[in-house]
Amino acid sequence: MRGKLLPPEVNRILYVRNLPFKVTSEELYKIFGKYGPIRQIRLGDTKTTLGTAFVVFDDIYDAFDAVRGMSGFNVGGRYVVVLYFQQARVKKMEQGDMEGKKRKIEEMKKEVEGAE
Protein backbone atom coordinates (compact mmCIF):
# COMPACT_ATOMS: atom_id res chain seq x y z
CA MET A 1 0.00 0.00 0.00
CA ARG A 2 2.99 2.28 0.47
CA GLY A 3 3.37 4.93 -2.18
CA LYS A 4 -0.27 4.73 -3.23
CA LEU A 5 -2.59 7.69 -2.91
CA LEU A 6 -4.58 7.55 0.33
CA PRO A 7 -8.07 8.95 0.92
CA PRO A 8 -8.07 12.57 2.19
CA GLU A 9 -9.32 11.67 5.69
CA VAL A 10 -6.32 9.43 6.39
CA ASN A 11 -4.20 10.88 9.16
CA ARG A 12 -1.28 9.78 11.36
CA ILE A 13 -3.42 10.53 14.43
CA LEU A 14 -6.04 7.96 15.34
CA TYR A 15 -8.93 8.37 17.76
CA VAL A 16 -9.82 5.13 19.56
CA ARG A 17 -13.16 4.69 21.37
CA ASN A 18 -14.82 1.99 23.46
CA LEU A 19 -11.62 0.94 25.22
CA PRO A 20 -11.80 -0.76 28.62
CA PHE A 21 -11.44 1.89 31.32
CA LYS A 22 -8.49 0.05 32.87
CA VAL A 23 -6.42 -0.28 29.66
CA THR A 24 -2.88 1.09 29.96
CA SER A 25 -0.79 2.97 27.43
CA GLU A 26 1.72 0.10 27.55
CA GLU A 27 -0.99 -2.31 26.42
CA LEU A 28 -1.97 0.04 23.60
CA TYR A 29 1.67 0.39 22.51
CA LYS A 30 1.83 -3.41 22.31
CA ILE A 31 -1.49 -3.74 20.42
CA PHE A 32 -1.02 -0.87 17.94
CA GLY A 33 2.76 -1.18 17.72
CA LYS A 34 2.50 -4.21 15.45
CA TYR A 35 1.46 -1.80 12.66
CA GLY A 36 4.54 0.39 12.96
CA PRO A 37 6.43 2.85 15.18
CA ILE A 38 4.22 4.93 17.45
CA ARG A 39 5.18 8.46 18.35
CA GLN A 40 2.70 8.95 21.21
CA ILE A 41 -0.37 7.53 22.93
CA ARG A 42 -2.68 9.68 25.02
CA LEU A 43 -5.32 7.97 27.15
CA GLY A 44 -8.47 9.76 28.21
CA ASP A 45 -8.35 10.36 31.96
CA THR A 46 -11.42 12.42 32.76
CA LYS A 47 -14.98 11.32 33.39
CA THR A 48 -15.97 12.14 29.81
CA THR A 49 -12.84 10.80 28.08
CA LEU A 50 -12.34 7.47 29.86
CA GLY A 51 -12.32 4.63 27.36
CA THR A 52 -10.76 6.75 24.61
CA ALA A 53 -7.24 7.33 23.36
CA PHE A 54 -5.26 9.11 20.69
CA VAL A 55 -2.60 7.03 18.95
CA VAL A 56 -0.03 8.93 16.88
CA PHE A 57 1.97 6.93 14.34
CA ASP A 58 5.25 8.06 12.78
CA ASP A 59 4.04 7.01 9.34
CA ILE A 60 0.66 7.68 7.72
CA TYR A 61 0.64 4.27 6.00
CA ASP A 62 1.06 2.54 9.37
CA ALA A 63 -1.93 4.51 10.69
CA PHE A 64 -3.92 3.46 7.62
CA ASP A 65 -3.07 -0.21 8.26
CA ALA A 66 -3.95 0.14 11.96
CA VAL A 67 -7.42 1.53 11.20
CA ARG A 68 -8.09 -1.33 8.79
CA GLY A 69 -6.77 -3.94 11.22
CA MET A 70 -8.00 -2.63 14.56
CA SER A 71 -11.55 -1.40 13.85
CA GLY A 72 -13.82 -3.86 15.63
CA PHE A 73 -10.87 -5.57 17.37
CA ASN A 74 -11.67 -7.02 20.80
CA VAL A 75 -9.64 -5.37 23.57
CA GLY A 76 -10.42 -6.60 27.07
CA GLY A 77 -13.90 -7.79 26.09
CA ARG A 78 -14.82 -4.59 24.22
CA TYR A 79 -14.87 -4.00 20.48
CA VAL A 80 -12.91 -0.84 19.79
CA VAL A 81 -13.77 1.82 17.25
CA VAL A 82 -10.74 3.30 15.49
CA LEU A 83 -11.16 6.52 13.51
CA TYR A 84 -8.89 9.07 11.90
CA PHE A 85 -8.59 12.21 14.00
CA GLN A 86 -10.39 15.13 12.36
CA GLN A 87 -9.79 18.54 13.92
CA ALA A 88 -12.99 20.01 12.44
CA ARG A 89 -15.11 17.29 14.04
CA VAL A 90 -13.45 17.81 17.43
CA LYS A 91 -13.97 21.58 17.25
CA LYS A 92 -17.62 21.02 16.37
CA MET A 93 -18.04 18.66 19.35
CA GLU A 94 -16.28 21.12 21.67
CA GLN A 95 -18.40 23.98 20.39
CA GLY A 96 -21.56 21.96 20.93
CA ASP A 97 -20.38 21.09 24.42
CA MET A 98 -19.67 24.76 25.15
CA GLU A 99 -23.15 25.76 23.94
CA GLY A 100 -24.65 23.17 26.28
CA LYS A 101 -22.65 24.56 29.21
CA LYS A 102 -23.77 28.11 28.41
CA ARG A 103 -27.42 26.98 28.33
CA LYS A 104 -26.99 25.23 31.67
CA ILE A 105 -25.50 28.39 33.23
CA GLU A 106 -28.38 30.49 31.90
CA GLU A 107 -30.91 28.01 33.30
CA MET A 108 -29.21 28.10 36.69
CA LYS A 109 -29.20 31.92 36.68
CA LYS A 110 -32.94 31.93 35.98
CA GLU A 111 -33.56 29.46 38.81
CA VAL A 112 -31.57 31.62 41.25
CA GLU A 113 -33.32 34.81 40.11
CA GLY A 114 -36.73 33.09 40.41
CA ALA A 115 -35.94 31.94 43.96
CA GLU A 116 -35.16 35.47 45.14
Query: For the domain that residue 45 is a member of, what is the CATH number?
Result: 3.30.70.330
* 35 shares a domain with 81: yes
The secondary structure element, H or E, covering residue 40 is strand 38-43
- Residue 28 maps to a domain: yes
- Same domain, yes or no: 70 and 97: no
Q: Per-residue pLDDT for 100 more than 80?
A: no
Domain count, the chain: 2
Res 5: pLDDT: 84
> Do residues 35 and 57 touch, judged by C-beta distance below 8 A?
yes
DSSP-H helix ranges across the chain: 25-32, 60-70, 87-115
pLDDT digits (tens, 9 = 90+) for 28-51: 999 999 999 999 999 999 888 899
Asked if residue 28 and residue 15 are part of one domain, the reply reads yes
The domain of 110 spans 87-116
Q: Which residue has the higher pLDDT, 113 or 72?
A: 72
Within 10 angstroms of residue 51's Cβ, the number of other Cβ atoms is 17
DSSP string covering 12-32: SEEEEES--TT--HHHHHHHH
Whether this prediction's pTM lies above 0.75 is answered by: no
Do 67 and 93 lie in a common domain? no
